[in-house]
Chain A
Amino acid sequence: MTKQGDKLLEIRNLAVQAGDQRVLESVSIDIDAGEVVAIMGANGSGKSTLGFALAGHPRYEVVGGEASLAGVDLLAMEPQDRARAGLFLSFQSPPDLPGVRNNLFMRTSLNAVLEARNEEPVDAFDFLERAKGIAGSIDLPAAFLNRPVNEGFSGGERKRNELLQLAMLAPKLAVLDEVDSGMDVDGLRAIVETINRMRAQGTAFLLISHSLAMVEAVNPDRVAELDGGRIARTGSLDLAREIARTGFSRARESVEG
């Protein structure tokens, strides 16, 4: 298990292409265990691409650079091995899995991760107890565990379902791609509480968000602005406030100027 302050994610000059389009030119970020880095950027700046590329989505081709998680080459691994190694991606738009029961999906996922950690698998009974406990803490009715994954879920319910999986899997690094969109105030509180609880246990977060209120509530260690396929600026919460006040174009002008 990584401890607070251990070097966890190291990204160097990452370049990513989606189809014929170069989305990320050269991105470099370091994140230590237990750290939270908020990524902000205009629409189309490549925030989601960064998450998908780290997670190994086949539509995103890494054409340059390096990325390691806890010293292991992330880019050399298959997507499922990246997840087992401790990388979790909360999807901006989690897909439906018609007919696949949420509890079965999550237990299969959890046991795959536990096996990679050389831990004992959980049986259906223990899983359900654990899942119900977490679901209660994020205001997701337990009945959702028995429904097909994301099928018929509202936007907020999908995001709560992502939070449930996040808390269940306890990854080393979680990339949260607009986890706050579609959430009500109780949902936003659940996100902040989940991040703070897991952060104290050593989980690091790459938080992608357009909401200053969300970023302020999480109180990240750093804020990074993604622009032109690169990290244009990094700073404290003040950078997030400046972006909120002036917009991305003003922020970009001030950098270029």
Chain B
Amino acid sequence: MQSEAANREPAVLQEVRDRWIPRQTELFRHLRPPEADTWLARPASSSDEASAWITDTPGDDAGQPGPRLAIETDREKLATALAKVPASLRDEYTPLAEAHAASCVGFANLRIGAEDEGRVIRIRRRSDAMRDAPLLLVEIAPGTRFTLVEDADAGTAPGIAAAMTRNALAFIRVGAGAHLRHLRIRREPPANAIANRTVVEVDGDGRYEQITIASGGDYHLERSEIDLLGKGAHAESVAVLLAAADRLEQQIEVRHSAPATRSRVETLVLAADAARVVVNSRTMLPREVSGAIVDQSLHGVPTAGQPKIILRPHLEILHDQVEARHGATWGALSEDALFYASQRGIDPDEARALIVDGMASALVDSCVDDPELLERTGLTPALLEAIAGHVGRKPERE
């Protein structure tokens, strides 16, 4: 398998190199991904694929077998799976998508049915490949409520140096009336190059909630493309991005493809020192879509030093009957709030940790107000650790 994959390298990979992202592109105007060779893998052997996916069901004591990932490494099935994934909403991303397709050697398939109602699965990826290109397919059956946790913080596999490259793709289909909570923990070692693309399609009256905690990486891109396909579909994305010496970008594109759909995107950037953080948020309402409700808010908070924070909220509205709100705010932590805490005897570092955690937790809770779920799935502990790493002090919660 490995030699077969290696044989296709010269032709396929050279094509990707030749079509790589040009210097002048609007999408990557402020933060350009590393060159093609960073992402192009000599594919790992297919036997590695099965052991690279780690799953558990945190806090699930139902006593029944949890939902299982089916791992496929058959080349034809892989080609079929890749073909199912819609083309990127932005042509400029295509080279990274092609690099993924050229490097991917298998995929994990998760089908959630009515028997999994209300359950939780946590998925970790721990590949021993220096260049990893995982593919995850998720299908939530109509009417089913489910929680998917993706945790990139699985540690480094034995024998792997600290720096690695991951170009990941997840394609999620939320069935009619289904409800998926998608919790994503993306804390990366500082030398990694990461491009995570998540493509989501939501059918009528389906609901998709995405929470992202992202930090680290020498280059770190979190891209989501959410398509509200059916009438009444609803998507929410909230993200807390923490960066100190990182180059971190979030791209989130939402397309309202049906009437009476609703979306909300809200991102909080906490950046310090030499960090460079970009948030590109674009929501599209085509001419034929009426009665949509859109909310898009981006917030940038420099916490120390002179980081560069670029916030780009963008709405494309081609229909008159739309309720839309968008905006971006940029400003340091409130001097009055910090002084207020100090005046109550609280150490300045602790005050910063409290205030930053307050902002982050308020944002997370506004999407999924279920503290017990957030705790047991590891999202809250990950957020607290990320804040501790950022402000130098772990905030207390209770």
Contact = CB atoms under 8 A, between A and B. Distances in A.
Contact of B358 (A55, A57, A82, A100): A100
A91 B347 contact: no
Interface stretch (B25-33, B120-128, B161-169, B329-337): B329-337
A80 B351 CA distance: 10
A148 B358 contact: yes
A116 B344 CA distance: 12
Contacts of A213: none
A99 interface: yes
Which of B350, B354, B357, B363 has the largest number of chain A CB atoms within 10 A?
B354
Interface stretch (A28-36, A62-70, A102-110, A181-189): A102-110
Contact of B354 (A55, A57, A78, A100): A100
Contacts of B397: 104
B348 interface: yes
Interface in B209-243: none
Interface residues of chain B: helix, strand, loop or mixed (majority):
helix
A95 B344 CA distance: 13
B160 interface: no
Nearest to A81: B345
B362 A55 contact: no
A98 B357 CA distance: 9
Interface size range on A against B: 20 to 34
Interface in A82-132: 82-84, 88-89, 91, 94-101, 104-106, 108-109, 112-113, 116, 124
A112 B345 contact: yes
A220 interface: no
A167 to B, nearest CB: 13
A165 interface: yes
A97 B346 contact: no
B308 to A, nearest CB: 25
A58 interface: yes
A50 to B, nearest CB: 14
A95 B336 contact: yes
Contacts of A116: 345
Contact of A99 (B342, B343, B357): B357
B344 A169 contact: yes
Contact of A97 (B341, B350, B360, B363): B341
Contact of A105 (B334, B341, B363): B341
A102 to B, nearest CB: 11
A97 B354 contact: yes
Contact of B347 (A98, A101, A104, A112): A112
B334 A95 contact: yes
B346 A80 contact: yes
Contact of B344 (A78, A99, A109, A148): A109
Contacts of A112: 344-347, 350
Given A83-B344, A83-B345, A105-B346, 6 more contacts: A58-B339, A78-B342, A97-B340, A99-B361, A100-B354, A169-B344
Interface of B: 334-337, 339-348, 350, 354-355, 357-363, 365, 396-398
Give the 10 A-B CB pairs with smallest separation, nearest first.
Answer: A99-B362, A99-B358, A100-B358, A109-B344, A112-B345, A83-B345, A79-B342, A80-B342, A95-B336, A113-B345
